[in-house]
Amino acid sequence: MKNSSFALIKLPAAIIAFLPLSLPTAGQTNLDPVLAPYAEEVEQAVEKGLQYLVSTQREDGSFPGNYGRTPGVVGLAGMSFLAAGYLTDNPVYGPTILRCLEFLLHCQRDNGYITARQGSDKGMYSHAIATLLFSELSGMVSPEYQAQIDQALPKALAVIISAQNVDKPEDHQGGWRYEPTSRDSDLSVSGWTLMALRSARINGARIPAENIENGVQYILNLQDREGDARGGFRYMRDRRGNNAYMTVQSGLAVLCLQLTGHHDSEEVEMGRRFMLQRYQRLAGIGNEMYGLYYYAQASFQSGGELWERFAEWMYERYLPRQRDNGSWPQEQNTPAYSTSMVLLSLTVPYRQLPIYIRDETVDE
């Protein structure tokens, strides 16, 4: 690999391949206590949701709907199976995961950018999510597929680093936007790219520390420090803060700060208080499933009251909304998207994906 900064350190298989092959059940002693009363119902809902994704996946790995052929949606679907504890060698779900991987590999251009071959794909959203799946799968696939990931992942990471380093105005420095050449930034895209970088670091990639630090500083600059929206995070610095989209974005910001070592900072604590006041406002707003995913992750990382209250609300709201075919009400006219986002949210306490690892002292 030409750029050693993004080379993957090959960790022992016993360290990397730690995903169990079955879902947690109510009888397990290490089951998250907040999940325990809902464990059986959650397990059944997750299985139905995964079966829906299997039944609707096209031969090329894509899914129906407006964005079903985008790397972003395909990547989210693939991660749903990993989050539930299934690997590529599983006889039922393995072929679906591999079709997702093959689709994303096919979407990567020679310059490393992962983009849809046709139609809108949301640019760096899709690229970051696809990169995240590459990283989460690395070390958990056959030698043949591992060789392909070893070629694709460093190039994908290089695109992310290069996009962040574009010369930008002060308020946008350190972040990312829709395209690799964009000179502005927003919190939404920046959250996914930081997740991809964090996952790659866990898996041994040598990500320059300054790129993580610059991304964190960009997020910190988006936080409101006074007024009704104190503690919340804006989509962009020049956007008004007290609105529904700020509710959605704040879970994302708190999660990214926690995952990058700021778990006990004043900014994170302010963000948690904002989330406690706002989480029920996710219901029925635009990008509800998007907000759900980040609130689930951020509140689980936080533990304590925030996780207890949010998780109970999440189970009570979303388990009954699952349709008979296993899907959840669609957003973006793409049922695979909404279903994947709910699955990724429900499975957060399973702790299967490396990006779900939590400091278990948070509840002490």
Check residue 312 and give left, alpha or beta (phi > 0: left; psi -120 to 50: alpha).
alpha
Question: Where is 294: in which H helix or E strand?
Answer: helix 288-302
pLDDT in tens, the chain (364 residues): 333 345 443 333 322 333 333 444 444 446 789 999 999 999 999 999 999 999 999 999 999 998 999 999 999 999 999 999 999 999 999 999 999 999 999 999 999 999 986 656 679 999 999 999 999 999 999 999 999 999 999 999 999 999 999 999 999 999 999 999 999 999 999 999 999 998 898 888 989 989 999 999 999 999 999 888 899 999 998 765 557 778 889 999 999 999 988 988 999 999 999 999 999 999 988 889 999 999 999 999 999 999 999 999 999 999 999 999 999 998 888 999 999 999 999 999 998 887 767 654 444 4
Handedness of CA 325, 327, 331, 336 (dihedral sign): negative
Q: Torsion angle of alpha carbons 182, 282, 40, 99, nearest 10°?
A: -20
What are the phi and psi torsion angles at 245 (to 5°)? -70, -25
Spatial distance between the Cα atoms of 173 and 364, rounded to a whole number of angstroms: 37
Which positions ≥6 away from 76 have C-beta within 8 Å?
129, 336, 337, 340, 341, 344
Question: Where is 244: in which H helix or E strand?
Answer: helix 244-259
Spatial distance between the Cα atoms of 218 and 150, rounded to a whole number of angstroms: 30
User: All domains of the chain, ordered by start, with CATH?
Assistant: 34-356 (1.50.10.20)
Q: What is the pTM of this model?
A: 0.90
